[in-house]
Chains A and B, each alone.
Chain A
Amino acid sequence: MRKFVSLLALAALSTAGLADAVRARSDAAQPRPGGSITWGVTTEPSCFDPHRSSQQAAFFVARNYIDSLVGKRADGSFAPWLATQWSIAPDGLTYTFTLREDVAFHDGETFDAAAVKANYDFVKKPENAATAASLLENFTGAEVVAPHVVRFTLSRPDSTFLESVSNVKLGLISPKALAKGDLCGGGPALAGTGPFVFERYVRGQSATFVRNKAYAWAPGYAAHHGPAYLDRFTFRFLPEYAVRTGALTSGQVDVIEGVQATDVSLFADQPDFTLLVGPSGASTSFTFNINYTRWPADDVRVRRALRDGFDPEPIVRQVYLGHVPRAWSIIGPANPAYNKALVGAWGNDIAGANRLLDEAGWTTRDAEGFRTKDGRRLRIDVGYPQPYVRDNREILIQGIQAALRKNIGLDLNLRIVTAGEYAKGNATGTWAIYPNTDNPSDPARELWDMLGSKGFLYTNVPHPDPEITGLIDEALQATDPTRKRALTDRIQALGVEKAFIVPLFAPSWFLAAKKRVRGLSFEAGLDSPSSAYDVWLEGA
């Protein structure tokens, strides 16, 4: 469920400014332990087990009770976490991690190399059907070298592997809990090593966490060390925008995630509230992925006309009231791998788009004013799976639909489809346009997900473009960072140039909180709000 996936980044500048401001304020008062908060969130995870989930909303919840071997910093580098150090063999095929020796799982089990091996083996084992296994494509096995040294072997070099190790999906769960199985329902049974212990899950309502008093193994980038400040905190599932906003303004919750654009003014620069706009920058823009093998979009002129036939800027500004920027590339603007050269390089050329369609033979019009050729209307479906519709994105697409109709006579047919219809289109490679953002991971992995020959969109499409899929395969194996950067830049450019992708906007997380809630921030590796580890209450 990549759509749940979140979001990106605001323009780097405004981001840095905000982050500085937040930091400056936090410095003024000293964090102190104690207190509890309630946090209203948009989505109730369908599964709390990070190995099995594919919802972005579940990952940011899971970070509170699940740690990883390494952590990812905002600049894309890696920090020690449960592993104090690691080394990669020159051939790129073995990774050796030295583990901390003072770590214990919530259920009292010891954290050691055997526990790491148990987790990776569990995910890799096909019968377990764990979604996280997609990150272990090249992983062949784990070996306990010493009680606190573990070695992973790969079948071929994988430039994305360390990033995968840092991912919460490959976070560590107590082997005893793993053996019991079925951890989706959360609760104390889901024992990780994180700063909070999963106390209770009330389906349809809330999930509650209590402080892990023994916690002394925060990631290298954390703002503090030792146990978390809060005694306890609760996620409250409030799917309606108006309800979340109202719950915060009336004081019934302390923090909300998912503030919509029209409500931003209630919290920004207000004496009682703080607004945090969160680009963590690990993920992709919201894009149209156009199936370039399907009529009529198999004609590059039609795809380019769609790409250039409207100006995304005013539509994005109107729907999100200027709080998020339009996008220029598949990769989000705050991501270190963002190809800045694409800014201003394409789009909004209505005359050119009309010329392209004329050239392509779409010269006649039907009664409703849409272009036709050989009696068929120029129509392309946008199949948006119902469970993924959120964040006013269907409104944005309606705006584009209206603009394309008016500007170039193209019928962009937005259809909310069932999960089944989507799965069928995907399994047969017959989908037309798929609107989405991708799960945060390594940029090469994200490009592979959406455009690679075996990524989830093109795996069942008969003849994906050899040029772009070839470049992606190369990027996945390029262990030299400069070479990899050149490749991912080229792939981003090619995606837009051939109009396989139309980037729309760069989503952001919007958090609002009461002033007294401090220490909220965003985490790069998750591309979402951080865990509540650094959060504290003024006057607690």
Chain B
Amino acid sequence: MWSRIASRLLTSLVVAWASVTAAFLALHALPGRIEDILAGDVDYPGLREAIAAEWGLDRSLFEQYAAFVSRIAGGDLGTSYVLRQPVTEIVGSQLWPTVQLALAAGVLAVALAVSVALLTAGRGRRARKLASILELVLASTPVFWIGILLLMLFSFTLRWFPVSGANGWTSLVLPSIALALPTAGLLAQVLREAIEKTLDQPFVTTIRARGVGEFAIRARHVLRHALLPAVTLGGWLIGGLLGGAVITEKVFGRPGLGSVTLGAVLTHDVPVVLAVVLLAAFIHVAASTILDILYLLIDPRLRAA
């Protein structure tokens, strides 16, 4: 099992390198010279030359790439062309609010999905139907739309929660609900089906015969079995949560990687975009590695493999 994880880490290095190289080439193949973009609506003789010299844009593409790779290898992500701050500082300061949001939303989504699924799986037709319609609607509605409606109701009208910022837990409530709802909708459906399938298994009948209560059966035995597919989906949903965070942050005016990324791609801020690409690759790798380990913990049978 450890060799599997080790080889995954090795290939993930390759993936990270490939992502960054592709992004580097794409950014330089784009229309518009970077010095023109950085100059914007300002023009005077020598400005573009000075900008090009400042960021080393006057060197050949290969030299720029070599410099970039050796810098990355040394742990230096460079300086933002537009914000003129060290990229490590920019990304570092924005990482935590985004992670906080994604984590809160993830936990909330799982909690919602598990409780809804446990309560409705294999129960009365009407409850199930209602739950699955609700789940379907949530999973099929744009995140920003849910966010705006939540804001109008709970922040502007009822004034329960502040509109924005990253000050304390109250400002985290609405954004994480907005982000969690579509995810919870998807997760609950999958989970319920998994639970129902497990409920049909012979071992459940055995436990039932021993006189164990229905809730205990579900919470203690069935859930454990149904957890594996849910964990798999959970890993997949990390990506979805991070992507959704970009949009949610904009709706709620929260700091985070979303606004930094959006700004960077719009202004061709190459060093920042590349750092975000690297980070995305890293998160993907980390998430899948953790998932591998989780499988082994949840399902001992896999350890033999």
What is the interface of chain A, defined by CB distance below 8 A to chain B? 1-2, 44, 46-47, 49, 52, 54, 126-129, 131, 133-134, 137, 182, 184-185, 202-206, 236-240, 242-243, 246-247, 249-252, 386-387, 418-424, 426-427, 436, 439, 449, 454-456, 459
Contacts and interface: CB of A to CB of B under 8 A. Distances in A.
Given A246-B155, A420-B37, 15 more contacts: A46-B267, A54-B42, A184-B83, A185-B89, A202-B255, A203-B90, A205-B165, A205-B166, A205-B254, A205-B255, A240-B251, A246-B163, A249-B156, A250-B163, A424-B36
B40 to A, nearest CB: 5
Contact of B42 (A134, A182, A206, A454): A134
B97 A204 contact: yes
Contacts of A454: 43
Interface in B226-269: 249-256, 259-260, 263, 266-268
Contact of A203 (B54, B163, B260, B268): B260
Given A205-B255, A420-B37, A456 B43 contact: yes
A449 B268 CA distance: 24
B263 A236 contact: no
Nearest to A1: B40
A129 B54 contact: yes
Contacts of B41: 1-2, 54, 436, 439, 449, 456
A242 B166 CA distance: 19
B30 interface: yes
A177 to B, nearest CB: 14
Contact of B94 (A127, A204, A427, A455): A204
B148 interface: yes
Interface in B144-170: 148, 151-152, 155-156, 159, 162-166
Interface in B53-84: 53-54, 79, 82-84
A195 to B, nearest CB: 25
Interface string B16-42: 000000000000001111001101111
Top 8 nearest A-B pairs (CB, nearest first) are A204-B255, A420-B32, A246-B156, A423-B36, A184-B84, A423-B32, A129-B50, A424-B32
A420 B50 contact: no
Nearest to B44: A134
24 contacts: A1-B41, A44-B259, A46-B83, A47-B82, A54-B42, A127-B50, A134-B44, A204-B254, A239-B250, A246-B152, A247-B164, A250-B155, A251-B159, A386-B266, A387-B263, A387-B267, A418-B30, A418-B266, A419-B40, A419-B266, A420-B268, A423-B36, A424-B36, A456-B43
B85 A182 contact: yes
Contact of B32 (A202, A419, A436, A439): A419
A243 B255 contact: no
A47 B83 contact: yes
B156 to A, nearest CB: 4
A230 B87 CA distance: 34
B46 interface: yes
Given A238-B163, A423-B36, A127 B84 contact: no
Interface residues of B, number: 54
Given A204-B259, A420-B268, A424-B32, A240 B253 contact: yes
A185 B83 contact: yes
Contacts of A251: 159
A47 B159 CA distance: 33
Contacts of B36: 423-424, 426-427
A386 B44 CA distance: 24
A52 B42 CA distance: 11
B205 interface: no
B93 interface: yes
A97 to B, nearest CB: 23
B253 A236 contact: yes
B291 interface: no
A250 B152 contact: no
Given A54-B41, A127-B50, A456-B43, A46 B263 contact: yes
B173 interface: no
A47 B84 contact: yes
A387 to B, nearest CB: 5
A236 B256 CA distance: 14
Contacts of A184: 83-85
B276 to A, nearest CB: 14
A203 B253 contact: no
A423 B50 contact: no
Contacts of B84: 47, 49, 52, 182, 184-185
B104 interface: no
A439 B37 CA distance: 18
A251 to B, nearest CB: 8
Contacts of B260: 203-204
Contacts of A439: 41
Contacts of A247: 163-164
A452 B165 CA distance: 44
Interface in B263-286: 263, 266-268
Contacts of A46: 82-83, 263, 267
B47 interface: yes
Contacts of B90: 203
B94 A203 contact: yes
Contacts of A236: 164-165, 253
B190 interface: no
B112 interface: no
A126 B42 contact: no
A203 B258 CA distance: 12
B1 to A, nearest CB: 41
Nearest to A246: B156
A159 to B, nearest CB: 18
Contacts of B42: 54, 131, 134, 456
A315 B179 CA distance: 37
Nearest to A3: B41
A419 B253 contact: no
A473 to B, nearest CB: 15
A420 B31 contact: yes
Given A134-B43, A250-B163, A243 B32 contact: no
A412 to B, nearest CB: 22
B50 to A, nearest CB: 4
A423 B50 CA distance: 17
